Structure 1
Amino acid sequence: MPRFLYVYHADQPMRPDPEQAAEAMAAWGRWMEGLGPKLVDPGEPVGISKSVTKDGVLDRVENAAFGYSIVEADTMEEACEMAKGNPMVTGGGSVEVAEVMKIDM
């Protein structure tokens, strides 16, 4: 079954108070549980990113990545539908969805 990479994006780092953080973690847990075995790798949050180009290193990345997950789905459309209920989306951010392409070596 095809695998898809979810990259979580937001314009600003989230700094919720402890109560909001607990609610957010519960929402993530419910969403992940709802995916069941289609969630291949729940992923991890990531730290502040930089962008490396031929012109140098940029300290500010617009719409920076905040984490990732890997899921299985039959189609890109199914993978996108599964992402719609993600707490990043419902909280005002976005989920980038890309199929993971296997390379035969």
Structure 2
Amino acid sequence: MAKFLYIYHGSGKMPANEADRKAMTDAWTGWFGKLGSAVVERGNPVGMSKTVLPGGKVENNGGSNPTGGYSIIEAKDIDDAARKARECPILMEPNCNVEIAPIINMMG
């Protein structure tokens, strides 16, 4: 099995009230449960990023498609990884998506 990086893109906004936070947590926990042993690392949400451009210029806006978090998942290939991502809870939010990239083992 290969490993894939799931990069969650979206608003990065956390729910305002406890009931909505619990519903969000339950949705993610349920999805990770369905993936079972394919979950290598659940990952975490991330804060607003900075982008360093050629010449050293730094942009503080988080980029055109801000990263909200990440996970590492095992799958047969990238198509299998994409199938596994189809039920990701972030996809229920408007303008959110899951970017998938193979992790290339450079250490043998």
* TM-score when normalising by structure 1: 0.92
Instruction: Tell me the percent identity.
Output: 33
Cα distance in 1 for partners of 2:84, 2:13 equals 23
Where do residues 1-105 of structure 1 align in structure 2 (5 Å cutoff)?
1-10=1-10, 12-16=11-15, 17-55=17-55, 56-60=57-61, 61-92=63-94, 93-104=96-107
Cα distance in 2 for partners of 1:94, 1:63 equals 9
RMSD: 1.2
Cα distance in 1 for partners of 2:93, 2:87 equals 10
Post-superposition offset of 1:104: 3.3
Q: Which amino acid in the other structure matches residue 64 of structure 1?
A: P
Aligned residues: 104
Gaps of 5+ in 1: none
Q: Deviations over 1:68-97 (max 9, x none)?
A: 000000011110010010011122310000
Q: Which amino acid in the other structure matches residue 21 of structure 1?
A: R
Gaps of 5+ in 2: none
Structure 1 runs (4+) deviating above 3 angstroms are none
